[in-house]
Amino acid sequence: MPKKIMHIVNGDAFGDKLRASGIDGEILVWRESLYEGPIGMQMSDSALLSMRASYMSNRYGVPEDTFKSQTIQQEAKLGTLTDVDEVVLWFEHDLYDQLMLCYLLSRIADFSQPSFRLSLICIDRFPGVDPFYGLGQLSVDQILHLHGTELPVSEKQHAIACKVWRAYSASEPLPMASLLEEDLSALPFLKKALEVHLARFPSMQNGLSAIQQLTLELIRDDEVLILSLFQSLTEQLSHYGLGDLQFFGILDGLWHCEYPLVQVLGGDKLPKYNESWPAQFENVRVKITELGKLILTDKQDHVCLNGIEEWIGGVHLVGKQGIWRRNAVTTGFVRL
């Protein structure tokens, strides 16, 4: 009887190419963005799922029923892994993928005695692909060359993934900050990804996350085409795995707040889920406001002025005071 193989991959672009390669096995595309929204230990928990569906609907326009049904289907598929002989995980180095990887390894670690062989392909580069952003860039021939390089997942990797998911789900950032002091080298791209995760918290200095800070720096001196801004951010922040919807969400938060830090010129709204980009969208520009310049130079504070309502892992940041913040100099955390 032929072996039953399940490939779990990080997105449809790569999933389609893997399918076209003819490599044997079923493909499960993991679409749940664990990078954002409310997070918990068990992502299929009904209360948590409703919270996440509401978040994704409000922020990106994803229909709540669509989000719930996709998540439930994915989680149910994990339950069928006991019926296969081998599971191959295909992931990348960035935060988006490393969180998926840790969640999946922590879920699989819950299986009492898995009957399947579990292996992993996880890369941050590929010969001839420069700059390398992700597996979706690879051609079918390149995927075929990568096939067969997978390595068995070790007990150490399982243990680290479980620790990471507990820390990521925690209601304060201190467990994750402490975890970064431990040896995470069994998953070689994890430490950098988690450092990037902690940089998502607002700074003590001006209330900006690292992404918001860089966004304002890139438009400090002149108006910038919105798509050029997105390209610059993805190049300089490749460890985030930032998608266009996430970028639009970040930009929208700087624009549609009580005291705007940016202005978007040439459009009245940014694209959301399943929306086509408007005509002439490539001509839309972004500029910094005078307040944005003051915040960028630490003379004003974004959170104190505009407040915050955001989930970073299991940490819910809401309001203008008593917010977990990172010290951009020492990387410690305090409530301000």
Same domain, 165 and 48: yes
Place of tokens 């930032």: 242
Nearest alpha carbon to residue 285 among 208, 228, 328? 228
Quick one: pLDDT at residue 112?
A: 66
pLDDT digits (tens, 9 = 90+) for 123-156: 999 999 999 999 999 999 999 999 999 999 999 9
pTM, full prediction = 0.95
* Whether residues 149 and 268 fall in one domain: no
Work out the angle at residue 304's Cα, subtended by the Cα atoms of residues 309 and 207, and round it to the nearest 5 degrees: 75
Residues 139 and 231 in one domain: no
- Residue 329, pLDDT above cutoff 90: no
| Look-up of token digits 């010129």 | 265
Surface-to-core class of residue 294, CB atoms within 10 Å of its CB (0-12 exposed, 13-18 middle, 19+ buried):
middle
* Average pLDDT of the residues of the chain: 94
Which of 232, 203, 202 minimizes the C-alpha distance to 218?
Answer: 232
Q: What is the pLDDT of residue 268?
A: 87
Tally of domains within the chain: 2
| Residue 183 in domain | no
Q: For 52-104, what is each residue's pLDDT tens digit?
A: 999 999 999 999 999 999 999 998 998 889 889 999 999 999 999 999 999 99
| Over residues 228-257, mean pLDDT | 95
Structural domain that includes position 327: 199-335
Same domain, 128 and 245: no
Nearest CA to 34 among 248, 234, 250, 313? 313
Say if residue 165 is in the same domain as residue 207. Answer: no
**Domain stop point among 111, 140, 174:** 174
Indicate whether 117 and 168 sit together in one domain: yes
- What mean pLDDT is predicted for residues 8-16? 93
- Looking at the fold, whether 205 and 56 belong to one and the same domain comes out as no
Q: Quick one: pLDDT at residue 110?
A: 79
Residue 109 is predicted with a pLDDT of 85
Tell me, yes or no, whether 188 lies in a domain: no
Return the CATH number at 136.
3.40.1360.10
pLDDT of 146? 96
